[in-house]
Amino acid sequence: MKLSTRARYGTRLMLELGLSYGKGPVFLKDISASQEISEKYLSQIIIPLRAAGLVDSYRGAKGGYSLSRPPYAITLKEIVENLEGGLELVSCIRNPDECNKIAECVTRDIWKSVSKTITDVLSGITVDTLVKMYKLKQEKSIMYSI
Protein backbone atom coordinates (compact mmCIF):
# COMPACT_ATOMS: atom_id res chain seq x y z
CA MET A 1 0.00 0.00 0.00
CA LYS A 2 1.22 3.44 -0.87
CA LEU A 3 -0.30 6.80 0.03
CA SER A 4 -0.70 9.06 -3.00
CA THR A 5 1.15 12.34 -3.46
CA ARG A 6 -2.26 13.98 -3.45
CA ALA A 7 -2.94 12.85 0.14
CA ARG A 8 0.58 13.65 1.34
CA TYR A 9 0.59 17.13 -0.18
CA GLY A 10 -2.99 17.73 0.93
CA THR A 11 -1.97 16.98 4.50
CA ARG A 12 0.92 19.44 4.22
CA LEU A 13 -1.46 22.05 2.80
CA MET A 14 -3.79 21.54 5.76
CA LEU A 15 -0.83 21.81 8.16
CA GLU A 16 0.01 25.22 6.66
CA LEU A 17 -3.60 26.34 7.09
CA GLY A 18 -3.48 25.04 10.65
CA LEU A 19 -0.34 27.04 11.36
CA SER A 20 -2.13 30.18 10.12
CA TYR A 21 -5.46 29.46 11.81
CA GLY A 22 -6.97 32.64 13.24
CA LYS A 23 -4.59 34.89 11.30
CA GLY A 24 -6.69 35.24 8.16
CA PRO A 25 -6.72 33.52 4.77
CA VAL A 26 -3.53 32.19 3.19
CA PHE A 27 -2.66 32.35 -0.51
CA LEU A 28 -1.84 29.09 -2.29
CA LYS A 29 1.32 30.73 -3.63
CA ASP A 30 2.56 31.18 -0.04
CA ILE A 31 1.80 27.54 0.81
CA SER A 32 3.48 26.53 -2.43
CA ALA A 33 6.64 28.42 -1.51
CA SER A 34 6.69 27.20 2.09
CA GLN A 35 6.05 23.53 1.26
CA GLU A 36 7.86 23.50 -2.11
CA ILE A 37 4.80 22.12 -3.89
CA SER A 38 3.58 23.35 -7.27
CA GLU A 39 0.87 25.99 -6.90
CA LYS A 40 -0.94 24.40 -9.84
CA TYR A 41 -1.00 21.05 -8.03
CA LEU A 42 -2.21 22.69 -4.80
CA SER A 43 -5.04 24.35 -6.75
CA GLN A 44 -6.22 20.86 -7.77
CA ILE A 45 -5.89 19.46 -4.24
CA ILE A 46 -7.82 22.31 -2.62
CA ILE A 47 -10.98 21.56 -4.66
CA PRO A 48 -12.00 18.31 -2.89
CA LEU A 49 -10.99 19.79 0.48
CA ARG A 50 -13.35 22.71 -0.13
CA ALA A 51 -16.09 20.40 -1.39
CA ALA A 52 -15.74 18.33 1.80
CA GLY A 53 -16.21 21.46 3.93
CA LEU A 54 -12.70 21.34 5.38
CA VAL A 55 -11.51 24.59 3.79
CA ASP A 56 -13.12 27.97 3.15
CA SER A 57 -12.07 30.24 0.29
CA TYR A 58 -12.15 34.01 0.08
CA ARG A 59 -11.85 36.23 -2.98
CA GLY A 60 -10.15 39.56 -3.38
CA ALA A 61 -6.95 41.20 -2.24
CA LYS A 62 -7.28 39.77 1.25
CA GLY A 63 -8.51 36.46 -0.10
CA GLY A 64 -7.07 33.01 0.08
CA TYR A 65 -7.90 29.87 2.04
CA SER A 66 -8.46 29.00 5.68
CA LEU A 67 -9.64 26.04 7.69
CA SER A 68 -13.43 25.90 7.91
CA ARG A 69 -13.25 24.58 11.49
CA PRO A 70 -10.71 24.85 14.30
CA PRO A 71 -7.60 22.65 13.80
CA TYR A 72 -8.64 20.35 16.65
CA ALA A 73 -11.92 19.59 14.81
CA ILE A 74 -10.41 18.33 11.54
CA THR A 75 -8.93 14.84 11.48
CA LEU A 76 -6.34 13.33 9.21
CA LYS A 77 -8.97 10.71 8.38
CA GLU A 78 -11.19 13.39 6.83
CA ILE A 79 -8.32 14.80 4.81
CA VAL A 80 -6.95 11.51 3.48
CA GLU A 81 -10.39 9.99 2.90
CA ASN A 82 -11.47 12.93 0.75
CA LEU A 83 -8.26 13.01 -1.24
CA GLU A 84 -7.95 9.23 -1.70
CA GLY A 85 -11.64 8.51 -2.25
CA GLY A 86 -11.82 6.27 0.81
CA LEU A 87 -9.52 4.41 3.17
CA GLU A 88 -10.39 0.82 2.30
CA LEU A 89 -7.46 -1.24 1.03
CA VAL A 90 -9.70 -3.23 -1.33
CA SER A 91 -12.94 -2.14 -2.96
CA CYS A 92 -14.97 -5.14 -1.77
CA ILE A 93 -14.90 -3.75 1.77
CA ARG A 94 -17.06 -0.82 0.74
CA ASN A 95 -18.98 -2.73 -1.96
CA PRO A 96 -19.38 -6.38 -0.90
CA ASP A 97 -21.78 -7.06 -3.78
CA GLU A 98 -18.98 -6.74 -6.31
CA CYS A 99 -17.42 -10.07 -5.29
CA ASN A 100 -19.06 -13.47 -5.36
CA LYS A 101 -16.58 -14.94 -2.84
CA ILE A 102 -17.43 -12.66 0.10
CA ALA A 103 -18.83 -15.49 2.27
CA GLU A 104 -15.66 -17.60 2.13
CA CYS A 105 -12.98 -14.95 1.55
CA VAL A 106 -10.48 -14.97 4.39
CA THR A 107 -8.27 -12.24 2.92
CA ARG A 108 -11.16 -9.75 2.82
CA ASP A 109 -11.44 -10.09 6.60
CA ILE A 110 -7.75 -9.28 6.94
CA TRP A 111 -7.93 -6.26 4.61
CA LYS A 112 -11.03 -5.07 6.47
CA SER A 113 -9.18 -5.28 9.78
CA VAL A 114 -6.14 -3.43 8.41
CA SER A 115 -8.40 -0.74 6.90
CA LYS A 116 -10.16 -0.28 10.24
CA THR A 117 -6.82 0.13 12.03
CA ILE A 118 -5.73 2.77 9.52
CA THR A 119 -9.08 4.56 9.93
CA ASP A 120 -8.80 4.46 13.72
CA VAL A 121 -5.25 5.86 13.72
CA LEU A 122 -6.07 8.66 11.28
CA SER A 123 -9.23 9.50 13.25
CA GLY A 124 -7.09 10.16 16.32
CA ILE A 125 -4.82 12.69 14.60
CA THR A 126 -6.07 16.24 14.04
CA VAL A 127 -4.64 19.23 12.22
CA ASP A 128 -3.93 20.61 15.70
CA THR A 129 -1.83 17.49 16.40
CA LEU A 130 0.13 18.14 13.20
CA VAL A 131 0.68 21.78 14.17
CA LYS A 132 1.98 20.78 17.62
CA MET A 133 4.26 18.12 16.12
CA TYR A 134 5.58 20.64 13.61
CA LYS A 135 6.30 23.26 16.28
CA LEU A 136 8.04 20.67 18.45
CA LYS A 137 10.28 19.66 15.55
CA GLN A 138 11.05 23.32 14.87
CA GLU A 139 12.09 23.86 18.50
CA LYS A 140 14.36 20.83 18.43
CA SER A 141 16.05 21.92 15.23
CA ILE A 142 17.07 25.35 16.55
CA MET A 143 20.79 25.39 17.09
CA TYR A 144 22.20 27.50 19.89
CA SER A 145 25.67 28.95 19.72
CA ILE A 146 27.76 31.11 22.00
Give 17-30 pLDDT, tens digit per residue.
999 999 999 999 99
Higher pLDDT, 101 or 85: 85
Check residue 87 and give its pLDDT.
Answer: 83
Enumerate domains of the chain plus CATH numbers: 5-141 (1.10.10.10)
CA-to-CA separations, 77 to 54, 74, 80, 84, 99, in angstroms, rounded: 12, 8, 5, 10, 26
Give 92-137 pLDDT, tens digit per residue.
778 777 877 777 888 888 888 888 999 999 999 999 999 999 999 8
- Whole-prediction pTM: 0.88
Q: Where are the beta strands (DSSP E) in 21-84?
A: 55-58, 64-67
CA distance 114 to 121: 11
